[in-house]
Amino acid sequence: MTVDYQRLVATTSNASVLVENSSIVGVIVTVAAPDHLMIENVAVARTAQGRGHGRTLLEHAERQARALGLVQVRLYTNAAMTENLAMYPRIGYVEVARRSEDGFERVYFAKDL
């Protein structure tokens, strides 16, 4: 994670963290829209990857969406993140669009709850 997530969490009301052994190992930032919950950012520390933390954070967002009465979760990833492109469909996300935005090739996904 190259972003200062401790600072992000301290300054953002819609961020949730995953803590392991008193250290932040993951963070997810969500924004509720009228018809869906948008995952703006999900990240797991390099040293904590491969242990299911990303899935735990996504499941947290899905529970959050359900609690808000929302029936869909959406997210996007950089097309260069091939691990994400493979993982999201395995856990129920469907690719819905590809766009070039802000200099990035983005792939958009949605999951109906």
DSSP 12: -
Share of the chain above pLDDT 90, in %: 67
Amino acid at site 48:
A
pLDDT in tens, 72-93: 999 999 999 999 999 999 999 9
Asked if 71 and 35 count as a contact pair (C-beta separation under 8 A), the reply is yes
Tokens of 19: 């803590």
Count of domains forming the chain: 1
DSSP 70: -
CATH (domain of 55): 3.40.630.30
d(CA 61, CA 74): 10
pLDDT in tens, 1-17: 456 666 777 777 788 98
Average pLDDT of the residues in 95-101: 96
pLDDT in tens, 17-43: 899 888 888 999 999 999 999 999 998
Host domain of residue 10: 5-112
